[in-house]
Structure 1
Amino acid sequence: MSLSSFVAPWWFLLLLVVVALAAGYVVLQRIRRRRVMRFTNLELLEKVAPKREGWSRHVPATLLLVALSLLTVALAGPTAEQRVPRNRATVMLVVDTSLSMKATDVQPSRLEAAQVAAKSFAEGLTPGINLGLISFAGSATVLVAPTTDRPAVTQSIDGLKLAQSTATGDAIVAAMAAIDSFGKVVGGAEGPPPARIVLMTDGKETVGTRKAFDAAEDAKKAGIPISTISFGTEEGTVDIEGRQQPVPVDDESMKEIAQLSGGEFFKAASAEELRRVYDTLGEQIGYEKKKADASKPWLIIGTLSSVFAAALALLLGQRLP
């Protein structure tokens, strides 16, 4: 713990007083011992002098000095990093609803598993997060603008419908536009809240007016990282007009989008893995580490030490130290 971890480190100057008191106590004990040694009638001394325990008589004073040291640390205002819920942030959940999401390599299907995990993610986010929802296939649709109304998001997740093609770049652009519009409304003096895009898809980009990699670079410039989730397996297939079409996941593209935007890439090949990914994202997005006051333990222990010092002093010597 460095001095930068304290709000008012100048209070540590009081430790010089504690050191001075400790030194004074030692000097006083030596003076008393010398005076005793000058008392030549040792037989009479044993009768008139109060009997004292050995080292135990120093315990009250030692406890008092410890208490003063602990209380000094408390006055200096120690701080520590604590995990606290975010009170303002914007997240756009972007879900692929292309026909490849019909694949059953993830039971019961990629789409149904994604819906369950996405709803759990939405319901588990801390209350201060504004969550929006976008679905995309051949085009991107903002189903829910950023809001703290979780039922609105989960109901829209339940209503996701499949369609042809995959316009990943357009989906990223739509998410950025929704974040920008919301930020202008709620920004205030502090500016727009921090934002992130969570993009879940299972395949390659096939159409769109904006390429996904270019959109990811734009997101980087706007300070909006994209957390990408590549969902599914290499063995996925779907039935299109009576023919089985392979729909393998495109991990490399998702990695590139995450890297270009300054976000993170996640791989999920099963419903359970997808749930864990969303749980991880919920922790990252919903909470932040902040320096908070950590003086309470020092104050409690210091106060208790003072009380014990006074009690032992009265018990052992019938006086305060």
Structure 2
Amino acid sequence: MFELAWPWLFALLPLPWVLRALLPPAGNGEPVLQVPFLAELERSSSRRARLNLPAWRQQLPFALLWLLLLSAAARPQWLGAPLPIPASGRDLLVAVDVSGSMDYPDMQWQGDNVSRLTLVKHLLGDFLEARQGDRLGLILFGSQAYLQAPLTFDRHTVRTWLDDARIGVAGKNTAIGDAIGLGLKRLRERPAQSRVMILVTDGANNAGQVPPATAARLAAQEQVRVYTIGIGADPGSDGQLGLNPSLDLDEPALRDIAQATGGQYFRARNGDELQAIGATLDELEPVKQQPTRARPVRELYAWPLALALLLSTLLPLRQPLADWWQRNLQRALPHAPQWREQLRLRRRR
């Protein structure tokens, strides 16, 4: 079905003529030479016929150009048949800590020591890829929180944005409360029974404007379940005696956030535990939502825009082409009787 997205733009159709009537003629401020016999010169010129074209014929190409530009600006579209969109899952927003401490290489992945963020990319990325039917979003937070990917059914794109995350891109500190607050802004417009947020961090809140306890209370009011995951190895697990890699991890605060919102707190000390957490989260019951339908849209504005470009290119060539046509026509007219006679003789033969 054909339709115009912004048909009201055609109200601007008389704008050039209105401006021409209201604005004063342009002047260059220089003295003008008065020629009293200008009319006689025009009559004696070979271009007199063209100069005497009716006004509407002179303005026709420019009116057509203006109409084409308005048609392109009105966004003509072709709407396809309605197609169903799967909407039987959750609205799942994942907040990942990308502060400086997430670069600490105390985690094990396939026999190698990797950083915490690298492990999160591997295992949490697989978890996101398997969320068929869920709307997924991604928040990266450090000193500030940023929405990296809004809620979407495109799981692969969200996975790609997670893989592209870099340490320190949002600052070196940890703003847990701001990350939860940003998630609330994005989830409050979704059905209350389907709002889920997963927060992954290895530290304590030491930046941002919103305290984690306040953010948790607001999340509970908005019926957003927050599942928190604290990541970091146990003391001495990295081979350095006496060193506690998870010293900065504020487990009581993460546990309080999960408890206040009806979620659950998980502790990931290695790759196996993080993978098991993903399997546990996978068992969350999906909430059936109202099925949605969408119509594929094919934009057609390029066609009138291309015609307008072609016409604007040909307009400056109008006068040279007319002169060329007139010269060739004048050369051909004296020989026209001879051509007709030759054509008549050929037909007789």
Q: Which residue of 1 aligns with 2:100?
A: 99
**C-alpha separation in 1, matches of 2:287 and 2:124:** 18
**Is 1:219 equivalent to 2:182 in the alignment?**
no
Output one character per residue of 1:261-281: Cα deviation in whole Å (capped at 9) or x when no partner: 221111110011101101110
**Is 1:112 equivalent to 2:113 in the alignment?**
no
- Pairwise mapping of residues 155-304 of structure 1 onto structure 2 (< 5 A)? 155-163=160-168, 164-181=172-189, 183=190, 191=191, 194-235=194-235, 247-248=246-247, 249-286=249-286
Q: CA deviation at 1:235?
A: 3.5
Cα separation, partners in 2 of 1:280 and 1:86, compared to 1, 3 Å: farther
The answer to whether the Cα contact below 8 Å between 1:86 and 1:287 also exists between their aligned partners in 2 is no
Output one character per residue of 1:135-163: Cα deviation in whole Å (capped at 9) or x when no partner: 10010011110111011111001011112
Cα separation, partners in 2 of 1:234 and 1:152, compared to 1, 3 Å: same
Q: For 1:266, give the aligned amino acid.
A: F
The answer to whether the Cα contact below 8 Å between 1:227 and 1:265 also exists between their aligned partners in 2 is yes
**C-alpha separation in 2, matches of 1:150 and 1:246:** 32
Q: Which has the higher contact order (CA 8 A, sep 6+)?
A: 1
**Other structure's SS at 1:283 match:** coil
Q: CA deviation at 1:222?
A: 0.5
Cα separation, partners in 2 of 1:122 and 1:176, compared to 1, 3 Å: same
**Is 1:123 equivalent to 2:160 in the alignment?**
no
**C-alpha separation in 2, matches of 1:156 and 1:227:** 21
State the aligned residue count. 190
Q: For 1:225, give the aligned amino acid.
A: R
- Listed as ranges, the gaps of 5+ residues in structure 1 are 1-84, 184-190, 239-243, 289-321
- Listed as ranges, the gaps of 5+ residues in structure 2 are 1-85, 109-113, 289-349
**Other structure's SS at 2:181 match:** helix
**C-alpha separation in 2, matches of 1:89 and 1:193:** 8
Q: CA deviation at 1:256?
A: 1.0
Output one character per residue of 1:183-236: Cα deviation in whole Å (capped at 9) or x when no partner: 2xxxxxxx5661110111111111010011110110001001101111112438
Among all aligned residue pairs of Structure 1 and Structure 2, give the percentage whose two residues are the same amino acid. 30
**C-alpha separation in 2, matches of 1:236 and 1:90:** 39
**Is 1:139 equivalent to 2:140 in the alignment?**
no
The answer to whether the Cα contact below 8 Å between 1:86 and 1:286 also exists between their aligned partners in 2 is no
Q: CA deviation at 1:287?
A: 7.4
**Other structure's SS at 2:146 match:** strand
- Pairwise mapping of residues 298-317 of structure 1 onto structure 2 (< 5 A)? none
**C-alpha separation in 1, matches of 2:87 and 2:267:** 26
**Other structure's SS at 1:216 match:** helix
Q: CA deviation at 1:134?
A: 0.4
Taking only aligned residues, the RMSD between alpha carbons, in angstroms, comes to 2.5
The answer to whether the Cα contact below 8 Å between 1:104 and 1:237 also exists between their aligned partners in 2 is no
Alignment TM-score, normalising by the size of structure 1:
0.55
Cα separation, partners in 2 of 1:110 and 1:250, compared to 1, 3 Å: same
**Other structure's SS at 2:200 match:** strand
Q: For 1:232, give the aligned amino acid.
A: G
Q: For 2:128, give the aligned amino acid.
A: A
Cα separation, partners in 2 of 1:237 and 1:166, compared to 1, 3 Å: farther
Output one character per residue of 1:106-152: Cα deviation in whole Å (capped at 9) or x when no partner: 13111100111111110111x22101000100100111101110111
